[in-house]
């Protein structure tokens, strides 16, 4: 089976992205701004707001050294995040439909203190 990851950006729907990030094949990286993420996020996703790597910030340690799947609210800006250089040439993909489609697929979305999250 061919990997959905490649240099540059590939696209995954929410369920395959969840499978790959749950089994450790890849790391899900939430690239929404902080208020959006705080309202509800994938429990396994480290956070790096898209504005930070655009300004030169590097990937969180958890997202270095392997495939990365980026996620945004609706999936429109995560391809942009998947194209950002990380200094190590990571293989990247993004989630089509973003957190909105992830929530519609019944995948976990948590809020503050582990409560059920919402999308802001």
Q: Which of 9, 118, 7, 109 shows the shortest CA–CA distance to 69?
A: 9
- What is the average pLDDT across 58-87? 74
pLDDT at residue 29, as a whole number? 92
- What is the average pLDDT across 86-114? 84
Domain map of the chain by residue range? 9-109
**Tokens 């993909």 found at:** 93
**Tokens 């959905």 found at:** 4
Q: Which numeric CATH code is attached to 9-109? A: 3.40.250.10
The more confident residue out of 15 and 63 is 15
pLDDT at residue 110, as a whole number? 93
CA distances from 113 to 4, 11, 18, 95 (A): 33, 31, 22, 25
- What is the average pLDDT across 21-29? 92
d(CA 6, CA 92): 6
pLDDT band at 89 (very low <50, low <70, confident <90, very high): low
Average pLDDT in the chain? 81
């Amino acid at each position: 089976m061919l990997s959905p990851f490649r240099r540059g950006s590939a696209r995954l729907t929410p369920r395959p992205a969840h499978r790959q990030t749950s089994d450790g094949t890849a790391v899900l990286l939430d690239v929404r701004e902080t208020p959006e993420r705080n309202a509800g996020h994938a429990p396994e996703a480290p956070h790096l707001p898209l504005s930070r790597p655009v300004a030169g910030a590097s990937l969180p340690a958890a997202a270095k050294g392997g495939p990365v799947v980026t996620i945004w609210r609706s999936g429109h800006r995560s391809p942009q995040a998947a194209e950002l250089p990380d200094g190590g040439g990571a293989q990247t993909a993004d989630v089509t439909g973003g957190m909105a489609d992830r929530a519609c697929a019944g995948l976990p979305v948590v809020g503050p203190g582990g409560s059920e999250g919402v999308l802001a």
